[in-house]
Structure 1
Amino acid sequence: MLTKKKGILTGLLVVMMLFVAGCGSKESASGDSKKSLYFIPIVDTGAYWNPMKKGAEDAAKELGYTLITKTSPSAEPSKKEKHIGFIKEATAKDVAGIAVAPIEKKAFKDSIKTAVDKGIPVITFDADLENEADRTAYVGTDNVSAGKELGKQAAEEMKAKGITGGSIAIVCVDVAQPTMIDREKGLKEGFEEVYGKDAANFKFLATIQDNDQPSESKKQLEGYISANKDLVTVFSLGSEGPDVGVMSALESQGKAGEILHYGFDYTDTWLKGIDDGRITAIVDQDAYQIGYQVIENLAKAVEGEKIDTTIPIDVKYVKAADLEAYGKEKSKIKTDTIESTEESK
């Protein structure tokens, strides 16, 4: 009988311990969610996205938050739906905050607004929604202004070279992506502002989309070069696919240094095209700083601090001759920033 009672008591103790442990794990999970931030870039690899992710990771670590990065490959067939799903997942988990680069302005509105209405701050970056009231803040470049700067600078240089007309090609990752739409809009505005009525002497060809696949942009641009003997300038609006594809097409068609090429964002890839003229100039965003500022401001919003609804990051215009020195300086600044962050801990 005594043994039987001891067995019952032992069983009750085990049940009570499991119950307490279960309660404890729920509280822990809840606590963890309130120190977790979802970071949803379009991709997290490449010369633009990789340093941005690094900046976000450094800021989260410094501020005591857990960063959960969610993304998908460039060629993911259901990419838009998948990323909207990441927002819904974060909202369901009641995380502290969400940072997302919207692939489309309208499609992402409802899921972002649902999170905001639930009290979860949402910062958009790289691209923004149509209505700023639907998110907490935007961090990044004004892509229309950045495109306009590139268009104006290119047009000034083309005029200086005596170029008075011809065809122009634009290459991007995705024609429906908000950043690409805004950059193209600004690019054409800046170009027309410089050339005035003479802008009518130029023809912008249908924009090439390569889904970040260099072989695709190379093939399409080679076709444009063959079909348009008056092609004078190519603009690549960001990401490694168009950068590599355009330079490869210019090389294969023997047009390096003859057809001007203006790019978007710094990458070491440009260094391969300086000597033979496969890159003319670029506008560059500080990707590391975008990532850092996104998380720094998201943390402020989480903690109840009022933040600006738009936190702009400026761009710089860099000519091909200055790219190597510029790249070294960017690398040094990023390294110094990381080291400074580590020393302050």
Structure 2
Amino acid sequence: MKKLLITSALAMSAMTVGTGAFAQDIFALVPKNMNNPFFDQARDGCKKAEAESNGAFVCEYIGPGEHGGGDEQVQIVMDLIARGDVKGLGVSPSNAAAMAVAAQAAKDAGIPFITWDSDLLDPTLRTAYIGTHNYEIGVNLAKLAMEIKPDGGTVCIQSGGAAAANHNERMQGIRDTLGAMSGTTSPGERLTGQNGWTEADGCPLYTDDDFPKSVQQFEDFMAANPDVDAFLPTGGFPQFVPDANRAAVEPYKDQIASGELALVVADTLPVQIDQMKEGFSAGQVGQRPFQMGYEVMNAFAKMAAGGEPPADPTYTGLDVCTPETADTCIAQ
């Protein structure tokens, strides 16, 4: 009898835990990779929303350890769908075309699928996009470069991945703005003298979000093209390895300070603003990844409670920084 009572108590305990576990919704936030300080901020926003929910939902932050071609990320999303307990998928697609398969699978399973940071090529496959207006990042990078080099010149664009929709949209914004063009499609038309701007041979450079590779690309390119007028990374790749980046940019600090070289970089994380203040860039155009993670989770929570999906798209804004505005340029 005692054994039966103990067994019954354990069974009731298991049922109680199980009921609590199932009552707590699980929403996943899937970055392109998990070794990136940009995505760390999105994770922190996700976790803040979780804490504020008082146990209503869990933010499951999961993604590839390193940035790759996108296959591993697609598999992670497919596995989350197959689990059956995930009630919302927030994904920053590494490969927009490849992720369409997983987005369709989520749609078929009735799981809300929100893209953030980077979008899909087919917006009908997802619930909404929450994040940066990526084209505007490129526009503002170009505007800063044009303020420094009003007569144009030779430019090299350094991008993340050729299949990343967000970086292609930023490149389009750069090219359209520098070249005074309109009506192009992503990633824009290569600059061959439009409005005084020409893209250097061998550019754009593709880093595949490999930070040491991005620094090496800068060193190799600058050694071969010492007279380039502008170097524009569409992400913070080289600055995310600050010691290596400082060593690589140090020989060009005088050119940056004099306006001879317009080195303007995307993103405004603290480690990047520090480098700009030290003279290792002439400007930064930043996103708000913390807000992305936070808003994606709250959008899922609202939908789970029977509310409407978020506005599509939901833009989280930009911060445009120069050394002169470094202490005040980041939105609070």
Q: TM-score range by the shorter chain?
A: 0.7 to 0.9
Residues 223-249 of structure 1: per-residue CA shift (max 9 Å, x gap): 212222331111121134356465542
SS of the equivalent of 1:170 reads strand
Shift of 1:23: 5.5
Q: Per the alignment, do residues 269 and 62 of structure 1 end up closer, same or farther by CA in structure 2, a change over 3 Å counting?
A: closer
The 2-side partners of 1:164 and 1:309 are apart by: 36
Q: Which amino acid aligns with 2:319?
A: K
| Counterparts of 1:105 and 1:213, CA distance in 2 | 18
Counterpart residue number, 1:6: none
What CA distance in whole angstroms lies between the structure 2 residues aligned with 1:219 and 1:45?
A: 19
Q: Is the 8 A contact 1:150 1:190 kept in 2?
A: no
Percent identical pairs in the alignment equals 20
| Greater alpha carbon shift after TM alignment, 262-271 vs 137-146 | 262-271
Q: Which amino acid aligns with 1:193?
A: A
1:72 maps to 64
* 2:270 aligned residue: 268
**Contact 1:256 1:278 (8 Å CA) reproduced:** no
1:21, 1:201 → 2: CA distance? 70
Structure 1 residues 89, 264: CA separation in 2 closer, same or farther (over 3 Å shift)? same
Question: Residue in 2 aligned with 1:104?
Answer: 95
Which is worse superposed, 200-209 or 98-107? Answer: 200-209
Other-structure match for 2:185? none
In structure 2, the CA distance between the partners of 1:47 and 1:256, relative to structure 1 (3 Å rule), is farther
1:255-334 maps to which residues of 2 (within 5 A)?
Answer: 256-257=255-256, 258-274=260-276, 277-307=279-309, 308-326=311-329, 333=332
Distance (whole Å) between structure 1 residues aligned to residue 247 and residue 234 of structure 2? 16
| Structure 2 residue identity aligned to 1:180 | H
Question: What is the CA–CA distance in structure 2 between the aligned matches of 1:183 and 1:155, rounded to whole Å?
Answer: 16
Note the alpha carbon deviations across 1:143-178, whole angstroms, 9 max, x for none.
11221232233224310xxx4423x12223333322
Unaligned 5+ residue runs, structure 2? 182-190
234-243 vs 307-316, which moves further: 234-243
Give the match's secondary structure for 1:96: strand
Matches within 5 A, 1:128-207: 128-159=119-150, 163-166=151-154, 168-193=155-180, 198-199=194-195, 201-204=197-200, 205-207=202-204
CA distance in 1, matches of 2:15, 2:304: 26
| Bigger radius of gyration among the two | 1
Change (3 A) 1:103 1:271: closer
**Residue equivalent to 1:61:** 51
Counterparts in 2 of 1:272 and 1:292: CA distance versus 1, 3 Å: closer
Q: Secondary structure at the match of 1:106?
A: helix
CA contact (8 A) 2:319 2:329 kept: no
Where 1:238 maps in the other structure, the secondary structure is coil
User: TM-score scaled by structure 2?
Assistant: 0.81
Matched residue SS, 1:97: strand
Report the count of equivalent residues. 313
Q: Do 1:172 and 1:236's aligned partners in 2 also have CA atoms closer than 8 Å?
A: yes
Q: Deviation at 1:127?
A: 0.6
Instruction: Provide the secondary structure at the position in 1 that maps to 2:298.
Output: helix
- In structure 1, the gaps of 5 or more residues are 1-8, 334-345
The one-letter amino acid paired with 1:80 is G
- Computed over aligned residues only, the root mean square deviation of the Cα atoms, in angstroms, reads 3.0
CA contact 2:148–2:262 (8 Å) conserved in 1: no
* Structure in which a larger fraction of residues adopt helix: 1
TM-score normalised per structure 1: 0.79
Residues 277-316 of structure 1 deviation map (CA, whole Å, 9 limit, x = unaligned): 4211121112222221111112112222112222111213
